[in-house]
Amino acid sequence: MQENRPELYEEVKLYRHAREREKYDNMADLFALMSTLQNLEKAYIRDCVTPQEYTAACSKLLVQYKVAFKLVQGDEYPSIETFVKKFRLDCPAALERIREDRPITIRDDKGNTSKCIADIV
């Protein structure tokens, strides 16, 4: 017969304290941003969003990415590539967008980028 083992019915905690929970929440936010940016790139390629919608959304996501990555960046994840590799994210278009630090619809026009974004938003 099977014996009753109370330890099998105990709650499993994913974190031990608030700081650890915050760390996991920050990593989840970064993961979500990378996935969203990748999907936005695909949607633009497939002509599912207008260039204006794409530029506004991509600009916003790039700003959010910068903040989210600073919260995660450290010894464990010195670069976004390290984070992507660790969690096996398949997001080459998102990584390219992050490297260029601008939506593909905005050319390298030496200073007019902010004006273009302001006009769209």
For 82-94, the pLDDT digits (tens) are 999 999 999 999 9
CA distance 36 to 23: 20
Per-residue pLDDT band at 71 (split at 50, 70, 90): very high
Domain 18-120 has CATH 1.20.1440.200: yes
Average pLDDT, integer, range 95-105: 96
For the entire predicted model, the pTM comes to: 0.77
Mean pLDDT over residues 77-83, rounded?
97
